[in-house]
Amino acid sequence: MAVYTDISDAELEAFLAGYDLGAPLAFKGIAEGVENSNFLLETQKGRFLLTIYERRVRPEDLPFFLGFMEHLARAGFPSATPVPDRQGRLLGALRDKPAAIVTFLTGLSVRRPTAAHCLEAGEGLAWLHQAATGFGGRRENDLGRQAWPQLFAGLKDAAEQLKPGLAGAIQSDLDRIAAGWPKRLPEGLIHADYFPDNVFFREGRFAAAIDFYFAAWDALAYDIGVALNAWCFEPDGSFNVTAARAFVAGYERRRRLAPEEKGALPILAYGAAVRFFLTRLADWGQTPAGAMVRPKDPLEYERKIAVHRAGVALFEASA
Amino acid sequence: MAVYTDISDAELEAFLAGYDLGAPLAFKGIAEGVENSNFLLETQKGRFLLTIYERRVRPEDLPFFLGFMEHLARAGFPSATPVPDRQGRLLGALRDKPAAIVTFLTGLSVRRPTAAHCLEAGEGLAWLHQAATGFGGRRENDLGRQAWPQLFAGLKDAAEQLKPGLAGAIQSDLDRIAAGWPKRLPEGLIHADYFPDNVFFREGRFAAAIDFYFAAWDALAYDIGVALNAWCFEPDGSFNVTAARAFVAGYERRRRLAPEEKGALPILAYGAAVRFFLTRLADWGQTPAGAMVRPKDPLEYERKIAVHRAGVALFEASA
């Protein structure tokens, strides 16, 4: 949740003058998106989301993200569509920060996903992967597998401070992950942050995905690994294999996984758990005052790593 | 801005089951209202605001506030209308806190009101006062003139800490205000917090008033005094007499002020400045961590008191 930048009516009017959206009818800061300031904007032309990009998102990546969202929408995938200004530009500026207007999506995210939600969410992710094909833009995954050792190098002390012995454990996780990481899996553009709060449902059905600001080129099955961590752990820390199988079954409604992709899911999820642990650890205690954000607990992901470390058996019966 | 309580999809569904509003289509925490948690709620029946009452608002006052809002809406005044549940109740509970659903209002509040906005806002306030007549509910103004000496008694040290010499100055303000306070002005139900962020405009015209959680019985002209402080000071601390006269002129489009009301405006505004200084001083440094609220600077109102102390001449030419 975040509203970092407070925009006045006069600033909003000046910004909207560059768009063909008519006069503003309502404008409210909303508690959505950790990295950016988001506003519900209603004009004579409809309802929109105005986003001001605050941090982490590199301005030079924004044309890729907005272009990707535009591509997905044109391909029929239910995601927010960037609205061009009168000059056809998707990216503008507000208070000297990058800003964009996208269409407003209805739907509710779920706090505690059931296996039924996982089935729907899995299908939505495969749909996203298919809709992404043909987009000309590229972006390396700067939080992908290659980046983790260096990211960890700067966080060893913080890990040890969080929990004695943790630095050594994570080092050994990274060694195992590097040794076992699959090669030559099918690649494409992935969401890379497909968490329950980035997926909307309407009446129990997948309705939309939002927040494409980590999207990058990587193994498609790695996106499933990220999602299994986010969707299939119980509040008590246990891994819900039924939910995980439902997620994968939903995915395969749209796109069949190759046997090597299925077999790689446990290590992909293991690596993804380390990736989110590391970035949460980096953010821990670094949230600026007044940011209206609660930093996410890195220990949640430390517990998920421990589950993967012990071994998660997903498909041994069917494999 | 505040979102204190985070509501899950399951809690929302359970709450909405008591209402005849259909399934939720969107639900977003919004940065509006300092005292409560507010959510934009879209259902199959339309758009609404869901409010969870967090603090300051006394639960026993809520039936009065909600009844007053219902009365205003029935009288044709543009304010949010409370939505009854299936049993006809305006007040429910969410997470063991009082909660209510009201209709969603379009319109934008202005950050820096012009004299033209003041004219419109003044007319809106008189409209509110007229629409309020006939409501059977009563609520004493527990932050009215009688309450200030006692409120100040607990804040003398804080005032002195804020600015050496301030405690003595405020004491003398209170003495002057007590001596000069008008008696027998026309009374009624007042908004008591008619600030620019509680007034919506559409295309420059008054569109609606929100946030009735300080409404109480008091002198009607005192409501103008509160508003003059909130609407008619420039960022440099100077009092804009043109804006103030516009506010009063707008008010008189709907309701003529008696000469004794007009003559009392300077001291009513002087007292209102002390009232907001005192409550801001009480809140200063007391905002709970994680409340996503920036406490308002009491010194802003200390500067307004100083202007009134020196004397604000509003109508000497015409009086």
Q: pLDDT for B153-164, tens place per residue?
A: 999 999 999 999
Task: Tell whether A237 and A124 lie within a shared domain.
Answer: yes
Q: Residue A109: inside a domain, yes or no? A: no
Q: Hey, how many other C-beta atoms are within 10 angstroms of the C-beta on A59?
A: 11
Task: Tell whether A193 and A253 lie within a shared domain.
Answer: yes
Task: Tell whether B65 and B199 lie within a shared domain.
Answer: no
Q: Residue B169: inside a domain, yes or no? A: yes
**Which chain B residues contact residue A8 at CB under 8 A?**
110-112
What is the mean pLDDT of the segment spanning B286-314?
A: 78
Task: Tell whether A98 and A156 lie within a shared domain.
Answer: no
Q: Read off the CATH number of the domain in which A151 is found.
A: 3.90.1200.10
Q: What is the pLDDT of residue A8?
A: 86
Q: Residue A287: inside a domain, yes or no? A: yes
Task: Tell whether B159 and B85 lie within a shared domain.
Answer: no
Q: What is the pLDDT of residue A288?
A: 54
Q: Which among B50, B78, B103 is the end of a domain?
A: B103
Task: Tell whether B15 and B155 lie within a shared domain.
Answer: no
Q: Residue A4: inside a domain, yes or no? A: no
Q: How confident is the model at residue A234 (pLDDT cuts 50, 70, 90)?
A: very high
Widest pairwise Cα distance in chain B: 63
Task: Inform me whether the pLDDT recorded for B316 exceeds 90.
Answer: no
Q: Residue B30: inside a domain, yes or no? A: yes
**Which chain A residues contact residue B109 at CB under 8 A?**
9
Task: Inform me whether the pLDDT recorded for B249 exceeds 90.
Answer: yes
**Which chain B residues contact residue A290 at CB under 8 A?**
294
Mutate to test the interface with B, among A9, A36, A50 (most CBs of B within 10 A): A9
Q: Residue A318: inside a domain, yes or no? A: no
Percent of chain B with pLDDT over 90: 82
The pTM (predicted TM-score) of the whole model is 0.84
Task: Tell whether A160 and A191 lie within a shared domain.
Answer: yes
Q: What is the pLDDT of residue A34?
A: 64
Measured CA distances, A255 to A122, A128, A221, A223 (Å): 10, 10, 11, 13
Task: Inform me whether the pLDDT recorded for A105 exceeds 80.
Answer: yes
Which residues are CB-contacts of B44 (< 8 A; sequence separation ≥ 6)?
A: B21, B22, B23, B25
Task: Inform me whether the pLDDT recorded for A268 exceeds 90.
Answer: yes
What is the mean pLDDT of the segment spanning A185-210?
A: 96
Looking at chain A, which residue has its C-alpha nearest residue B23? A203
Task: Tell whether B168 and B300 lie within a shared domain.
Answer: yes
Task: Inform me whether the pLDDT recorded for A189 exceeds 90.
Answer: yes
Task: Tell whether B302 and B158 lie within a shared domain.
Answer: yes
User: Chain B: nearest CA to A24, how far in angstroms?
Assistant: 8
Strand spans (E) along chain B: 24-30, 36-43, 46-53, 92-94, 97-103, 187-190, 199-202, 205-209, 216-219
pLDDT tens profile A36-83: 889 999 999 999 999 999 877 888 999 999 999 999 999 999 999 999
Task: Tell whether B151 and B72 lie within a shared domain.
Answer: no
Task: Tell whether A129 and A237 lie within a shared domain.
Answer: yes
**Which chain B residues contact residue A30 at CB under 8 A?**
28-31, 40
Classify residue A318 by burial, with Cβ atoms within 10 Å: 0-12, 13-18, 19+. Answer: exposed
Range of the domain at B136: 115-310
Phi, psi of B219 (to 5 degrees): -65, 130
Q: Residue B258: inside a domain, yes or no? A: yes
User: Chain B: nearest CA to A258, how far in angstroms?
Assistant: 35
Q: Give me the number of domains chain A comprises.
A: 2
Q: What is the pLDDT of residue B208?
A: 97
Q: Which among B103, B132, B149 is the end of a domain?
A: B103
Q: Read off the CATH number of the domain in which A34 is found.
A: 3.30.200.20
Contact predicate A302/A277, CB 8 Å: yes
What is the mean pLDDT of the segment spanning B276-283?
A: 94
Task: Tell whether A97 and A129 lie within a shared domain.
Answer: no
Q: How confident is the model at residue A318 (pLDDT cuts 50, 70, 90)?
A: very low
Measured CA distances, B236 to A190, B101, B116, B191, B313 (Å): 51, 39, 20, 27, 19
Burial B126-158 (b: 16+ CB within 10 A, else e): bbbbbbbeebebebebebbbeebeebbeebeeb
What is the mean pLDDT of the segment spanning B253-258?
A: 98
Give the three-class secondary structure for A97.
Answer: strand
Q: How confident is the model at residue A285 (pLDDT cuts 50, 70, 90)?
A: low
**Which chain A residues contact residue B117 at CB under 8 A?**
none
Mean pLDDT of the residues in chain B? 92
Q: Residue A170: inside a domain, yes or no? A: yes
Task: Inform me whether the pLDDT recorded for A108 exceeds 90.
Answer: yes
Closest CB from A32, A105, A112 relative to B10: A112
Q: How confident is the model at residue B314 (pLDDT cuts 50, 70, 90)?
A: confident
Interchain pair B108, A292: CB under 8 A: no
Dihedral (CA of B33, B115, B183, B154) sign: positive
pLDDT tens profile B104-154: 999 999 989 999 999 999 999 999 999 999 999 999 999 999 999 999 999
Interchain pair A30, B25: CB under 8 A: no
Percent of chain B with pLDDT over 70: 93
Q: Which among A103, A127, A156 is the end of a domain?
A: A103
